[in-house]
A and B are shown apart, each in its own frame.
Chain A
Amino acid sequence: MQKILIIGATSAIAEATARLWAARGDALFLVGRRADRLQAIAADLCVRGAASVGCHTMDACDGAAHAAMFEAAHSALGGLDVAFIAHGTLPDQKACEASVEQTLREIDSNGLSVIVLATRLANTFEKQGHGSLAVISSVAGERGRQSNYVYGAAKGLVSLFLQGLRNRLAKRGVHVLTIKPGFVDTPMTAEFSKGALWAKPETIARGIVHAIDRRRDEVYLPGFWWLIMALIRHIPERVFKRLSL
């Protein structure tokens, strides 16, 4: 049985991932903004076989609330094997362009808040000498594109930060996983037309659990995004700037 903390537990990917852990009988602690949604998910995970499920209401952008959350998680789980950071928002790029405040808010919710949480978790894991920190970044963090560079910048910050953290913690037996999903069919993207590149949250979830089990460093989900992003990264900037991606 693993003791698992999930931050952003009401997101579609986090919920699908939690179901896989519940079926294995793991102990879970869910953190999210909405108490009623957390309760509904917790009840579901209990029926599916979770050893225990705790809930804590918190806004990840409220740094002052983090300490109390970690304390509650620690006392509910009695330790920590896996921390999974999955919260985030899908910014309206056009609105961000028109508003500095909104841009900074999005950078905070998708980037800075993750770094605040990861810093504390890294220290906990480093002290205990084991554990997995798994964080959802994005393929969007690999190259700035006109259609979502605010989101991309925040995710790029996360990816780079985790790279450094992995380098630091590898010597202490702590595992750091950077998860880079492509397009995911979630309530956030319900209105989009879904082509062949879209994946179900359940598919992403299986990839996440597998990557944590295998202590992978970085995963593209589904895996074909590795190839797509390798191509996109290698387009020369003088060409790339003329594209409309």
Chain B
Amino acid sequence: MTKTMHLRIVTPQEVLLDEDVRSVQFMGIDGSYGILPGHAPLMTATEPGVVTIKYEDDRREELMVSDGFAEMRNNTLTLVCEAGTFAEKIDLERARAAEARAREHLAQRGSLSSEELLRAEAALRRALVRQRLGRRRGGTGSIH
């Protein structure tokens, strides 16, 4: 059994990560996935959420991604997402402001079209995940 696998995280702006890792956890469309080296070929859509990576040297890293797709093939896991941010780069202030904005939007839900409503809800979810992740780095709160 191979000990490591390759992880690539690709966004429209850049290739965020291209490294050998020991395990990856991410949110799939139908629940949480944990992928270990040598996993069978797999493909799924992913939800906005946290990706937890364990490197070869047991270092852990977390990043927040928006929705996208995951493909496991030839011992390489490729996450293709719209956007991604490493936990240490999350701007808590901005996330809080985004949350406030989204809540404000949702408060007037009567006047929103269904698409606007969906978008506001997605924005709120993103802001909350971002904050949880940002706080966790600070040592308070938990992800799940």
A binds B: no
Question: B: which residues have CB within 8 A of A?
Answer: none
